[in-house]
Structure 1
Amino acid sequence: MRHVLRPVIAVLVLGGLAYFGYWYVTRPAEPVVLNGYIEGNMLYLAAPISGPLRDLAVAAGDRVDAGDALFALDESIIDAQAAQAQAAVDAAQAQLDDAREGQRPAELAVLSARRDGAQATYDEAQTELQRVRELVERGTMAQARLDQAQAAADTANAALAQISRELEAAQLGARRGQIAAAEANVTQAQAARAEVEARRAQLRPEAPAAGRIDDVYFQTGEWVSANQPVIALLPDNAVHIRFFVPEPTLPLYAPGTEVTFTCDGCREPMTATITSVSAEPEFTPPVIYSRDSRGKLVFAVEAAPEHPSGLAPGQPVDVLALGQTIERQEHADSHWDPLSWLESLIPPEPSAPEEQ
């Protein structure tokens, strides 16, 4: 019985070895992958002024678009400063308008009356001068009286000219220098008002880019100190892949080259474009090393994913090594048949003895 089982066991063992060898030769080749992980540059959004948190429009994990409202601090102090700045603008504008228009109508009326009085005095002096001149010419009045009349006429003429110039100046308005100073005061007041409005906008910041809210550090009603982050935002354009390349294949990974990677939870392979390559080698970081790679020198490579939405910092990724393809290796001898080979291992049955 044992003589019968031994050949059978030997055939089964050899058959198993043959099947394993056939599977090993024809199995699909494993792709060569490079280990890495996702990194992100977080934005910490804060307000430059202290105050209570009045409104919170987002929560951790929310998606936001550029321009979306995030949070707002109390604006009571800013409202008071804005009212003060607006009052300063109104006052400066009123001064400028007054400088451009000249003196008030009542003041112009006073000057006009003074001019009319000066005109009357001048006319009277001219009449008296004419009368005295005729009398002097007749010889009935002395020359000294004519000189007095002439001096009075000249004085009246000078007074009339002076008041006329004052009235013209009052009607023209302020001088150019005064108007320029008033215009500068208006500009300064408007700039102060714009500064207050800019501070108001900083109390209710908007999302600078599309991304995901990573964390919220305060609740509505809590006091927020100046420049203390309220929200951590991870923009989509700040997410990148960091993986490590062995020195022999480094020339393949130039900036601008496209690579393919996979990650846990990714439904299908994704693509990324290399943005930078480290100039100095390093040992494989402990966060990703294995027994086979922990002692190797590698170069850090960063790449920007084509679709970064949904990728989280710290998430491990596998980058398909460049120059590698996933193909099934065919056996060199396409005519080799394992079944025929197994049949050849079975010993032939002994022939029956010939009858005498």
Structure 2
Amino acid sequence: MRTNRILAIVALVVLVAILAYGLILAYTPVPERLQGQIEAREYNISSKVPGRVSQVLVRRGDKVASGDLLFAIDSPELNAKLMQAQGGRDAAKAKQQEADNGARKQQITAAKEQWLKAKAAATLAQTTYQRVEALFVEGVLARQKRDEAFTQWQAAKYTEQAAYAMYQMTDEGAREEIKAAAEGNARMAQGAVNEVSAILADSQMRSPKTGEVSEVLLHSGELAPSGFPVVSIIDMQDVWAIFQVREDQLKDYKVGQQLEVQIPALGASYPFTVDHISVLGHFATWRSTESGHDFDMRTFEMELRPTEPIADLRVGMTTLLAR
């Protein structure tokens, strides 16, 4: 009997202790925690050139460095336009060289010979006129013959002057205005080649950042519209944690504040710094019936960045922040 009484007392004490512990737990406030997730900078790599994907050199999960070739697009239409632009450039450069070089040596020589020929004819016409003038003074020839000789001399002299002007123009080459126009046309044609070449270079897409391939949306043989992303890259050097904070909780967080963020997937907590706080849209408003307050409250998005790199961190990992 005594043993049974002792056991009953012990059981009662244990029961009372359990009830007391339960009451303590029931009335002890549970620490509130905010749940968020890890985000990272993502780049969607697309081409301005529409065409067929000729090759994709990466797969999901591949590590790429800045400048690595990701994919290439084949565009026969652009290749044809490049040939046209190059042909126009070559023709414009030839015209510019022609304007800069002036007339050929043979043309200059021919113009000079025409001038010398006209000069000889003018000299002969002058000598003939002088002889006719002497005969006219002596009364041997009529005035009509003298006037005809004078007219032929003047015509030969003007012909010589015109031939000399043509020789000078041929020897000097093209005018400065013509040279400037030819140079402008050559630059314009070179600009057309550069434009098409730049577009073609954009068909060989290289990674703008060092990161990890997260998605490959198109594969070899598929058509790629202009601006449609073919490969997506995540830069794990540019990561942050996202939390949604109710308006009445903002007083506990300030930009630049350092906080300990728990990452269950890694089994540890890491120091993060509050980098940015911005309000979300009206769709995230807490109504008074939901928040327990007598007024509506907005939700704010808070970005925290790790103070130092975290090994094995992945996008989408859950993050916990104790309040």
- Aligned residues between the structures: 304
| Residue identity in the other structure for 1:315 | M
Look up the match of 1:185: 185
Q: Partner of 1:148: helix, strand, or coil? A: helix
Look up the match of 1:223: 222
Alpha-carbon distance in 2 for matches of 1:80, 1:132: 74
Look up the match of 1:234: 234
Note the C-alpha offset of 1:160.
0.8
- The TM-score normalised by the length of structure 2 is 0.77
Look up the match of 2:53: 53
Alpha-carbon distance in 2 for matches of 1:36, 1:261: 10
Note the C-alpha offset of 1:311.
4.3
Note the C-alpha offset of 1:237.
6.7
Q: Partner of 2:232: helix, strand, or coil? A: strand
Alpha-carbon distance in 2 for matches of 1:46, 1:91: 35
Gap change, CA 1:131 and 1:259, over 3 Å in 2: farther
Alpha-carbon distance in 2 for matches of 1:235, 1:4: 71
Q: How does 1:240-251 map to 2 (within 5 A)?
A: 240-251=240-251
- 8 Å contact from structure 2 (residues 52, 75) kept in 1: no
Of residues 307-316 and 244-253 in structure 1, the stretch that sits farther from structure 2 once superposed is 307-316
- The TM-score normalised by the length of structure 1 is 0.71
Note the C-alpha offset of 1:209.
2.2
Gap change, CA 1:245 and 1:225, over 3 Å in 2: closer
Alpha-carbon distance in 2 for matches of 1:137, 1:170: 43
Note the C-alpha offset of 1:216.
1.1
2:108 pairs with 1:108 = yes
Q: Partner of 1:61: helix, strand, or coil? A: coil
Alpha-carbon distance in 2 for matches of 1:216, 1:36: 27
Q: Which runs of 5+ in 1 are unaligned?
A: 285-294, 322-356
- 8 Å contact from structure 1 (residues 85, 192) kept in 2: yes
Q: How does 1:1-356 map to 2 (within 5 A)?
A: 1-2=1-2, 6=6, 9-10=9-10, 13=13, 17=17, 33-40=33-40, 42-74=42-74, 77-220=77-220, 222-227=221-226, 228-236=228-236, 239-266=239-266, 268-278=269-279, 282=284, 298-306=299-307, 307=309, 311-321=313-323
Q: Partner of 1:265: helix, strand, or coil? A: coil
Alpha-carbon distance in 2 for matches of 1:81, 1:187: 17
Q: Which runs of 5+ in 2 are unaligned?
A: 287-295
Alpha-carbon distance in 1 for matches of 2:275, 2:194: 43
Q: Which has the higher strand share?
A: 2
Q: Computing the radius of gyration over CA atoms, which structure comes out larger, 1 or 2?
A: 1
Identity %: 26
Note the C-alpha offset of 1:30.
8.9
Gap change, CA 1:4 and 1:256, over 3 Å in 2: closer
Alpha-carbon displacement from aligned partner over 1:209-265 (angstroms, at most 9, x marks no partner): 232211112333x22232333212223476432202243441343444444323233
Of residues 235-244 and 193-202 in structure 1, the stretch that sits farther from structure 2 once superposed is 235-244
